Amino acid sequence: MRWIKAILFSLLFCVAIIFVVQNLDFLNQSAEIKLNLYFINGSSGPLKFYVLLLLSFLLGVIFASFYTFKIWYGKIKLTKIKEKEIKKLKQELDSLRNFPITQEK
């Protein structure tokens, strides 16, 4: 399985390199980001397309990480609640196992 992952990542890396080499002229062009709202007007300086592409990717990774962290934290919290319940039930079971047996006549 590790070999398959390594091969797939290598192929993905090669495809990314080919993409960059074939689109080098386009990626080196400059662009400017403008924000025109009623109360805010602004623009960035000239940025290369590859910088915009990397910033967009980074922003997506950050948002996905926050979403994943939210789900991960919820699962950890649920696991701790379940572990407490299991511990309580084990203690109850142990106390019932040690309960003395008496015979009624």
Residue whose pair of structure tokens reads 């397309």 in the numeric block: 49
H or E element: which one contains 42?
strand 41-43
Question: Per residue in 24-64, pLDDT tens?
Answer: 888 888 888 888 888 888 888 888 888 888 888 899 999 99
| Tokens standing for residue 76 | 């950890």
Residue 82 dihedral angles phi and psi, to the nearest 5°: -65, -35
Q: How far apart are CA 15 and CA 22, in angstroms?
A: 11
**Residue 52: count of CB within 10 angstroms of its CB:** 15
Give the HSE-up count for residue 89: Cα atoms under 13 Å, Cβ half-sphere: 6
> Would you kindly state where each structural domain of the chain is located, as residue ranges?
2-97
Name the pTM for this structure: 0.56
> In this prediction, what percent of the chain has a pLDDT beyond 90?
31
